[in-house]
Each structure stands twice: as C-alpha cells, then as structure tokens.
Structure 1
Amino acid sequence: MSRLAILCPGQGAQHGAMFELARQDAGVAEQIQKWSLSDRLGMPLDRILADPSAMFANRIAQPLIVAATLAAWAAVRQLLPTPALVAGYSIGEVAAYCVAGAISATDAIALAAARAALMDRCAQPDAPQSMVSVIGVPAAVVADLLRQHHLHLAIEVGETSIIAGGLSRAFAPFNAIIESMGGAVNPLPVGVASHTPLMTAALEDFSDLLERCTFADPRIAVLSGIRAEPVRQRQQAKADLAQQMVQAIRWKDCMDRCAEQGITLALELGPGAALARMLHSRHPHIACRSLQDFRSLHGVAAWIKRHAD
C-alpha cells in the first residue's frame, strides 16, 4: 500500500511561472483571484512575478510562497490519494497546516504576511542579517564554529549540510575557516536570520496572532519542523509554529521520520524541487517529484497512478 507525503517548500526558489500549473485549472485560477493577493502583497501579483527583487523581498516572499503552494494544492488534491503526512520547510510549515485542513488558505496567507512583517522588524538597518548554506564539513564541527563566531544553526539538512543565520558582519571570518577546511558557503536570498534567537522579539506577537486565528486539529498529521514529530492537535501546532521562528529546523530528522512512517511517495507542491531532491537522495526508495517537474496536471495524475497501489 502506497503512503503519500506532501512537501511544502520554504523561500529561495521563487520564479515568475510559479502559479502557472495551478492556473490550468479554471476553478483554481478563480480562487486565486478571490484571495486578493495584490492587496495582501501591496502590488499586483503579475507585477511581482515579473520582478525578482520583489519576489525575494521577505515581506512579499513568505505570503507569496504560501499562496503558490496552496494554489498548487487546490489544483492537485482531487488527483491524489489522501496523504498520510504533510511536511513544511520553514514558512512551508504554515502552508502545511492548510493542506492538513487546520486553517483556511486566506488565514494561512495572512499569517505568512504577518510573520514576515514581524521578522523584518527584528532586522535593524545598521545590523543586517544573512543566511547561508554550508556544505562539505561535518555538521557537528560547523555547529561549534557557529557558536565561536556568534552565529546560529538554522536548519539541519544532512550530516555535512546545514543552513546558518546571524548578523552579516560575523560571516566573513567564519566563511574563511569553512573554506580552509574544504567546505563551501553559499549566501541565500533571505534577509532575516530565520529560526535563530535573532527572531525572539517577534515570538510573542506571532504567538498572539496564532491564538486569535481560527485553528482546528489537523485532519492529516503534520511534521513539526523543530521536533520532527507528527502533530495532530491544534495547540501543539500553534506552539511549534511560533517556536520554529527562533529554533533550528530539524529537516534531516523530518526526512528520516517520513521513511519511518512508511512513506513511499512524496510530492513537493513547489515552487522549487529542493525538498523532493533531498528526500530522494536520503531515502532512494521513496518516489519523489515536484510539481514543477510537470507540464500539466494530467502529467501529475499519470505519475501518481503509476506509483500508487
């Protein structure tokens, strides 16, 4: 029996065609219009999709990615078996709770916009923040170096791959050491140090927003990014969504949890395909694809049919 996981991405892979596959469904295209994204994002959606500087600005990127993910879900959900698990990477965890039926799409997009605004307030103009990927050096060694340079582990990706965040000025000496050890450091298009203590000032206000949001128990288990455990109750969901702003995401453990839960099939809703690639690389027996691999919704349905029992 096949068991499907839905993967909801974070920031970094936005592109101008990120809504196109979902818009092939006329009903979904109409639904996107009803979300009033231009009002939520502060400018017309098509203008944002034509402007990379807008697409990657944090205040726009977070609600934009959630909206694109949920548009994709609306387009494919009737083509899929009921998922056994949903996992969201960073801001993707907000979208994951909508996929799981805990919150509405409009509330998820609003939460993403509020989250982004609160996080932006944590970054001061005279103390800019950055996030980088670090590969090629054991994660335990990198974690020790981060502490020495007053930087922070943000996401555990693998045994020799992590995401780090902190004040931009602290990265130059850290980067030099990593490169001297044969590793590589690559800057990410994110201007706030997500999942680190630098976001602490946003925690209380975002927790309050979550408490006021209409939130039900998830109908499908959602993996907590900070605990790598399935969440089935709304209070735990809200607590974890708040805490993941300031705590590292255990994505490596989330991927392992998918395998432990018997997942045989995983579909990333996009934009991007990084989550599908990472999961398949770590657990090759899981058939993994991203929606962006397909040219049509019919193609998605055909792939699912081939791999589902």
Structure 2
Amino acid sequence: MFAIVAPGQGAQTPGMLSGWLRDPAHAERLRHWSGAADLDLVHLGTRASAAAIARTENAQPLLVAHGLLAHEALARAVPEGAAVVAGHSVGELTAAVYAGVLTSTDAIRLAAVRGRAMGAACDAEPTSMAAVVGGSELDVLDRLAELDLTAATFNGTGQIVAAGPADGIQRLAAAPPRGATVKPLPVAGAFHTPFMEPARQAVAAAAAATRFDRPRQLLLSNADGAVLTSPEEIRQRLVDQVVRPVRWDLCLRALARMQPGLALSLPPARTLANILKRQYPGIAVVPVNVPRDLAKAAARLEADTGKGEPAHAGA
C-alpha cells in the first residue's frame, strides 16, 4: 500500500516549474491549464517573483498544477485500490485527481476560483495567520480563545496555525502561550475560518457545476482524516474546507493506522516530506520535486506493487 500526499499554499518557490517545462508534454499541459485557470501559469512557474506567486490567486492554481505535472507518470504505476491519497488545504484538489475524483483541468479551474475568491475575502477586513510551535495543545488553544483567534490548521509535530483579526495575531506574537514560539506568516488573511465565507460560496457555485466521480483510490478528508467514498460528500467537504480547520494531524494518524510502506510527497515536496519523516520515521518517503524524481518514484512503486494487500477503508 502506498501513500500520496499533496502540499498546500506556502510551499511555492520562484522558478519551481522551470525544469518541468523543458519537456514539451509538460509545457503543453501547463499551457492548457493556464486557459482553464485564466492565468499565465508558465510565467508564474518560471519568471514571476516570490511576491507574485505568494498572492493567493496565483499560489493556489500554481501549486495544484505543479503537483499534477507528476500525475500521468505516477498514475500508471499505482494500481487501483493500492494507494491512500491526502492533500493539505488546496492540495486536497490535487489529491482528488490522484484518487480519480476530478480531472486535472477541473482541479486547476477550481483552484483558480478558490484562490481568487479567498484573496478577495482577505481584502474585506484585516486578518492574518501565525504558526504556533511547541507548548501544550491545551495551553495553545486556551490562549487562542482568549484572543478570539481560531486554530485554523493542526499540522502535527507540535504546530498549530492560528488565524483571525490582525491585531489578535499581533497580541499572540507579543505574548505567546507557555512554552511556545509564534511566527507570523506572510499570508493575505485568515484562511480556514469564517472570514472566508464569501469564498466558500464562490467555490460552492463552481463545484456544483463540476463533475465528481467515485474515487478509485482511498481519499482522506483533511477535515478529520476520514476516508471518503461518496462523490457528493467529497464535493461538499472540498467546499466547506475553505472555512473549516485543516486537520493534517488527523490525516497523519490515519496514515499511521494504515501503515503504508511507501509515501510519495508530491511537488513541491519538502514541507510534507519533512513532516512525515519527523512524525513517522518508519515510513519510507520519496520526495518528488523535479522531473528526474519521477522515474525513481515510479520504479519504487512498481517494485513494491504486489508486496502488500490493496488499501481498504477499515485499515
């Protein structure tokens, strides 16, 4: 059994698609996806500045596109029912493609709608986010409640991302919870909180017009780590996660129960690969960052195929 994980916003770096676009097939896919996103993904992935690709409306479709450039090569090497797939925040759209729920074009289109809508919601009032590292979870959550902040992301490995009004984030940084450090994040606003309700409505309208199929691989929800099988439930959860916390910690617990022998961390791979390695050193993690990593990842998948039973929801 294999795991495939897809990163969320914040993993992007300038020029991250340059190596991929040397392959004409990848370049053609990205031009097609640029039309679906109504964005120049080629420019964003090669020549755009760090500030430009950090913008929410650019970062989200760009990250989904990066993860999906690996899809064709890897999908051939993963038999149906042999993988469990999970995505962090917008990476859940990438994961839905690997699970067979969405087409790549539809995932890019939804990511573009999501990014633009969340960016617009951020402009409505001053909000922000900060990573809280260390301390006890109870102390951290109590401190966030005192400041009227939301725990927007539980990343595991002792990290919670707080979100809410910008002045609350400033007060959190000035007086962290006991035993914790606080690092304000360079994001446009309070993602995965009720401040994103206008964006949720926009994503809901776009998702309603999009075909969702029954998954061919196990798909974990980043709301609670549950395995999803119903296309309608997957659609609703992808919509609702815009305003709900990301429980990556629960996805990690689900993976630990399922005990995959190998985990592929999709590009940009570093953040999630490092989390997996720290939390579950027994899982072999293969990061996929550049095109040459595809052959290595596919070979590992093919070598391990048949060594274990197919994935199943009761694991």
Aligned to 2:201: 204
Counterpart CA distance in 1 for 2:263 and 2:15 is 22
Give the counterpart of 1:34 among 32, 35, 57: 32
Give the counterpart of 1:244 among 213, 216, 241: 241
| Shift in alpha-carbon separation, 1:142–1:89, aligned structure 2, 3 A | same
Once the two structures are superposed, the pairs formed by residues 257-276 of structure 1 within 5 Å of their partners are 257-276=254-273
Aligned to 1:279: 276
Give the counterpart of 2:188 among 191, 194, 207: 191
Counterpart CA distance in 2 for 1:174 and 1:196 is 17
Aligned to 2:122: 123
How far the C-alpha of 1:306 sits from its partner, in A, is: 6.2
Q: What do the CA deviations read for 1:35-79 (whole angstroms, capped 9, x no partner)? A: 2359622x4622553211111100111111111111122243334
Which structure 2 residue ranges, 5 or more long, are not aligned? 308-315
Report the TM-score when normalising by structure 1. Answer: 0.89
| Shift in alpha-carbon separation, 1:188–1:242, aligned structure 2, 3 A | same
CA contact (8 A) 2:87 2:222 kept: yes
How far the C-alpha of 1:119 sits from its partner, in A, is: 1.5
Once the two structures are superposed, the pairs formed by residues 1-309 of structure 1 within 5 Å of their partners are 3-20=1-18, 22-23=20-21, 25-36=23-34, 40-41=38-39, 43=40, 45-46=42-43, 49-50=46-47, 51-80=49-78, 82=80, 83-124=82-123, 127-158=125-156, 160-178=158-176, 181-292=178-289, 295-304=292-301, 309=307
Report the TM-score when normalising by structure 2. Answer: 0.88
* Equivalent residues, number: 304
Counterpart CA distance in 2 for 1:102 and 1:216 is 5
What amino acid is the match of 1:29?
A: A
Q: What do the CA deviations read for 1:58-104 (whole angstroms, capped 9, x no partner)? A: 01111111111111222433345554211000000011111111111
CA contact (8 A) 2:97 2:104 kept: yes
How far the C-alpha of 1:258 sits from its partner, in A, is: 0.9
Counterpart CA distance in 1 for 2:36 and 2:210 is 22
SS state at 1:225 partner: coil
SS state at 1:101 partner: coil
SS state at 1:270 partner: coil
Counterpart CA distance in 2 for 1:17 and 1:272 is 15
What amino acid is the match of 2:240?
A: Q
CA contact (8 A) 1:5 1:265 kept: yes
CA contact (8 A) 1:14 1:55 kept: yes
How far the C-alpha of 1:307 sits from its partner, in A, is: 5.7
| Shift in alpha-carbon separation, 1:220–1:81, aligned structure 2, 3 A | closer
What amino acid is the match of 2:237?
A: D
| Shift in alpha-carbon separation, 1:6–1:159, aligned structure 2, 3 A | closer
* Overall identity of the aligned pairs, in %: 33
Counterpart CA distance in 1 for 2:293 and 2:86 is 24
CA contact (8 A) 2:267 2:289 kept: yes
How far the C-alpha of 1:174 sits from its partner, in A, is: 1.3
